[in-house]
Structure formats: structure tokens, C-alpha cells
Amino acid sequence: MQIEPPQFVFMTCKAGAESALKHEVATLEPDWRPSFSRPGFLTFKNSSEPSIDSQRIGEKNWTFAHCLGISFGRLAGDQLRELVRGFWDQPAIVALVSSGVPLDLHVCQREPVSEEDRGLATYVTPLCIEIEKELRSAAPENAKLTREMPAHRKASPRHSHVLDVVVVEPSEWWIGYHVAVRPAERWPGGAIPVRLPPHAVSRAYAKMEEALQWSHLPVAAGDECVEIGCAPGGASQALLERGLFVTGIDPADIDPAVLEHPRFRHLKKRGSEVRRNEFEGVRWLTVDMNIAPEDTLEEIEAIVRHPRVALRGMVLTLKFAEWNLADRVPDFIARVRGWGFRDVRTRQLVTGGQEICLVALKRKALRRLGKKKRPRRKGTWVAAVERSEPPAVRPESVAPIDVAPAADLLPRPDEAHSAPPAPHF
Ligand SMILES: C[S@@+](CC[C@H](N)C(=O)[O-])C[C@H]1O[C@@H](n2cnc3c(N)ncnc32)[C@H](O)[C@@H]1O
């Protein structure tokens, strides 16, 4: 859908990532100028002739934007009723409602700024739920809202048209519209609700779940995965619970809950010390080392370029000691593409720290071939485990995509490993 000028775009991001996002916008959309800026929330003005196409902007690989759309501007007021009336009376909203298109509603709060809340952020706060209830009950009769107030929230349908309210302050809402093109855009605030179950040994469990759900990487039960930088083991745990075989490489200790799992083995070494034949037959590589992105990529390059290594895809965490490393994201993507990975995407995960997640697949078509089984090489540890005990996948342990409690995200023992706190501008 095309919206006539003047055109503004709104974006949400992690608090602290605003300058990185501004840089990304300057690169991807050079005609957009920064307009309004608060921690975790930005707007941009389109200064070029062609109108903004909300479908097209949603299709881009945005690394630092959690959610984005066309901005209809600000509503300010002290009374909820008055703000709700202002929303439905806003001319662009009236035009969308009159067009008869089915609409969904996303109400989210911008990223909280305070340090205690870092990583605990839930974008759909009780205030957002109250606002959404009020908006729905005051909707004009001709508004075709696609759903009732979801008690158990589900993702908006693919390609649905979504009206957005970003609660910048309780008395200051920014309103807009987007088309839910990618998986994260189907959730308020672009936050795929992943759970950190009580048995998870580190927060990296939730990061791995978010990465897999965001990227739709076709990992399947029975696949072999190597994780470099796996201690204490939360991400490995998430992969084990999806039925994978995991070789964890890390000089640090692994939590016994993971170490004792029959489909896990630990190589207590640095990535560079591991013999290359350990990677033969391995389909997926996941990497989460607390070292500089260049060093991470250097270590991986030596593995993926080896002639006997044939990975299908990778999930890499690239830690940013400094935000200005964000300028290098296109170089990081180009480098990984240079290793033969055609489909490379990046995103600053909601559950991650001062870092980005890079997901790479050899070919896009592999997304559809995820469930294909390949024969085991004889004499490998995986073949031995399979012979002794066929892997039992516990379906109940696979994190469901439609559960909501992002508030389950609690500080975990690997906090000390995580990147330094984000600076606030
Ligand atoms: C953020 S923690 C990883 C958290 C882990 N992915 C989890 O799921 O719990 C970073 C880890 O990288 C490991 N590390 C750093 N350099 C490494 C290297 N060159 N090879 C292997 N592991 C490395 C550290 O020992 C540390 O345990």
C-alpha cells in the first residue's frame, strides 16, 4: 500500500543502538533524514519523490530495527480515552479503516532504558494491554479488526496490515502502520516471544530460540551441530531439546545438566585447536565466543573453507565492544557470502546484548529441505549414540512460537560472559 507524502518512518531498536540504526538507515535509505529520536525509538523523514512502500521496506534486511513502519505522527494527552479517540480520528487511520482492509493492532512500549531492565524487556507491558483493550472497544464500526483481543497472543497472520502504537511515554504515543512481511514483524515491537525455561542453564537458550524462530533455519531432529563458545550450555540445551546432536567446543566448563545429555559431547578446547575432521558430517555451526567479530570470523573461516567441511548453515553471534562496529556489518555479511553462503541475514536480537546475530544458509532452497535425513558416517560418535539409544525427541520441550511470556527472561549464570552494557544517548 502506498501512502502519499509527507512520509515518515518509525523504527524501534534496542536502547543504545540508535546511532547504529541511524547509520544503517543512511546506508540503506540515503533519502531518509533522522527526525525524532528517543532511546529505543526513532523516526525518519523521506525526502525523495517516490512514496514509501511499506511492503518494500519490510522486506529489507534490517539489522538494528526491531520493528518499523510508516509513521502517522504523535498523539499526546493525559487521558487514555482522549488518546484512544485521537487514534481513531487520525486521518491516515480513518483512511485505512475506510479502505475496508482487514487490520490487526500492535501496541508495544519502546525499549526500557534502565540498566536493571536490560534483557528483561517485555515490549507488551500491562499498560500496552490496557491500551489495546481500550482501542479495540472504541474501534469504529466499519473497522475490520482481524482478531479479538488475544488472551493467548498469537503472531499476526503473514502479510497482514497492522496498525501500530508505540508507547514512547504513557502520555505520548507514536502511531503508524506496517505490513507484517517477516516473522518478527508479526509480533508487537518485533519481539518474537521466546521463553527461558527454569531448567535453562544460561540466557543463551532464549537467544538460540529467538535466532531459530526469526531466521526459520531448517534445523531438524537428528542433525549434527557444532557450537563453538558453548559454555555453560544454554544454546546447546535449546538445540538438544530440538533433537539435534551437539558437539560443544569451549575451554570453559559446561553445566552438568548439558554435559550429561546423551546427544552432547564436550571438546574442552579453543575452536582453533580442534581437528578439522570433527566437522565432517556436521550440518550446522553455531558460534557464540566473547571475542571481537573479526576474530570470530577468522576462526570460522579456517573451518568452513576446509575441503572436507560441508556445512548447511550457521548461527553466529558477533559481539560489539563498540557500537561503531555496526558500520562494519556489510563487510561481515560480504565475508560470509564469500564463503559460499548465499542467504545471509543479520539482526540484533531482542534477547541479545550489545551484539548481532548473523544467520547464514548455503542456499535459500535449503529452507524447504530441512527435514531430509542423511546417512550417518560409520565410526562417528553420533553413529555410536544412535546405535546405543535412538534419540528421543521430547516434543513438549521444543519452545512453542505462540507463547508470550517474554517476562520469563531472567538473569542467568552466563551474565558475566555477556557484552558490556549499551551506552545510552
Ligand atoms: C557468551 S559465552 C557463551 C554462552 C554459551 N553459548 C551458552 O549457550 O551458554 C562465551 C564463551 O566463549 C568461549 N570462548 C571464547 N573464546 C573461545 C575460543 N577461541 N574457542 C572456544 N570458545 C571460546 C568462552 O570460554 C565463553 O564460555
Residue nearest to atom 2 of ligand 1 (CA): 417
* Shared-domain flag, residues 370 and 315: yes
Kindly give the distance from the C-alpha atom of residue 248 to the centroid of ligand 1, in angstroms, as a whole number: 10
Cα-based angle 75, 80, 84 (whole degrees, multiple of 5): 60
* Shared-domain flag, residues 160 and 208: no
Residue 116 has pLDDT above 50, yes or no: no
Kindly give the distance from the C-alpha atom of residue 243 to the centroid of ligand 1, in angstroms, as a whole number: 22
* Shared-domain flag, residues 244 and 171: no
Of the residues 159, 190, 221, the one at which a domain ends: 190
pLDDT-derived band at 386 (thresholds 50, 70, 90) equals: confident
* Shared-domain flag, residues 240 and 365: yes
pLDDT-derived band at 369 (thresholds 50, 70, 90) equals: low
Residue nearest to atom 23 of ligand 1 (CA): 229
* Shared-domain flag, residues 287 and 389: yes
Kindly give the distance from the C-alpha atom of residue 255 to the centroid of ligand 1, in angstroms, as a whole number: 13
* Shared-domain flag, residues 144 and 218: no
Whether 266 maps to a domain, the answer reads yes
What would the mean pLDDT of 269-287 be, rounded to a whole number? 93
pLDDT cut 90: percent of the chain above it: 64
Q: How far apart are CA 271 and CA 183, in angstroms?
A: 32
Question: What domain range includes position 385?
Answer: 204-415
Whether 341 maps to a domain, the answer reads yes
* Shared-domain flag, residues 186 and 210: no
Kindly give the distance from the C-alpha atom of residue 13 to the centroid of ligand 1, in angstroms, as a whole number: 26
User: What string of DSSP letters covers 238-285?
Assistant: HHHHTT-EEEEE-SSPPPHHHHT-TTEEEE-S-GGGS-GGGGTT--EE
pLDDT-derived band at 380 (thresholds 50, 70, 90) equals: confident
* Shared-domain flag, residues 222 and 145: no
pTM of the model: 0.86
Contact 270, 251 (CB under 8 A): yes
Residue nearest to atom 13 of ligand 1 (CA): 229
- 212, 290, 299: which to mutate for ligand 1, most atoms within 8 A of CB? 290
The set of cell numbers assigned to 12 is 524501534
For residue 231, the one-letter residue type is A
How many structural domains is the chain composed of?
2
* Shared-domain flag, residues 381 and 248: yes
Whether 195 maps to a domain, the answer reads no
What would the mean pLDDT of 255-274 be, rounded to a whole number? 96
- Mean of pLDDT over the chain: 85
Of the residues 149, 164, 190, the one at which a domain ends: 190
Sheet with 313-319: list strands edge to edge.
Answer: 264-267, 245-249, 224-228, 284-287, 313-319, 355-361, 343-347
CATH of the domain at 77: 3.30.2130
Predicted confidence (pLDDT) per residue in 93-110, tens digit = 999 999 999 999 999 998
- 259, 268, 417, 418: which to mutate for ligand 1, most atoms within 8 A of CB? 417
Model pLDDT, residue 115: 35
pLDDT-derived band at 118 (thresholds 50, 70, 90) equals: very low
Kindly give the distance from the C-alpha atom of residue 272 to the centroid of ligand 1, in angstroms, as a whole number: 13
Residue showing cell 497492522: 162
Closest atom of ligand 1 to 295 CA is 19
> Which residue has better confidence, 24 or 194?
24
Kindly give the distance from the C-alpha atom of residue 403 to the centroid of ligand 1, in angstroms, as a whole number: 29
pLDDT-derived band at 229 (thresholds 50, 70, 90) equals: very high
CATH of the domain at 393: 3.40.50.150
Pocket of ligand 1 (CB under 6 A): 202, 204, 228-236, 249-252, 270-271, 288-291, 414, 417
β-partners of residue 68 are: 11
Q: How far apart are CA 90 and CA 375, in angstroms?
A: 60
Model pLDDT, residue 4: 56
DSSP-derived pairing of the beta strands 343-347 and 313-319: unpaired
Whether 420 maps to a domain, the answer reads no
Kindly give the distance from the C-alpha atom of residue 351 to the centroid of ligand 1, in angstroms, as a whole number: 17
Whether 300 maps to a domain, the answer reads yes
pLDDT-derived band at 422 (thresholds 50, 70, 90) equals: very low
Closest atom of ligand 1 to 208 CA is 8
Kindly give the distance from the C-alpha atom of residue 185 to the centroid of ligand 1, in angstroms, as a whole number: 30
Whether 248 maps to a domain, the answer reads yes
* Shared-domain flag, residues 143 and 283: no
> Which residue has better confidence, 189 or 151?
189
Whether 196 maps to a domain, the answer reads no
Whether 424 maps to a domain, the answer reads no
Of the residues 190, 225, 247, the one at which a domain ends: 190
φ, ψ of residue 122 in degrees (nearest 5) = -115, 130
For residue 382, the one-letter residue type is V
> Which residue has better confidence, 250 or 424?
250
* Shared-domain flag, residues 114 and 262: no
Q: How far apart are CA 343 and CA 336, in angstroms?
A: 10
Q: Which of 185, 165, 235, 244 is nearest to 61 (CA)?
A: 185
Detail the DSSP E strand segments found in 269-383: 284-287, 313-319, 343-347, 355-361
Kindly give the distance from the C-alpha atom of residue 230 to the centroid of ligand 1, in angstroms, as a whole number: 5
Closest atom of ligand 1 to 237 CA is 8
Detail the DSSP E strand segments found in 17-77: 32-38, 41-46, 67-76
* Shared-domain flag, residues 25 and 130: yes
What would the mean pLDDT of 122-150 be, rounded to a whole number? 87
pLDDT-derived band at 277 (thresholds 50, 70, 90) equals: confident
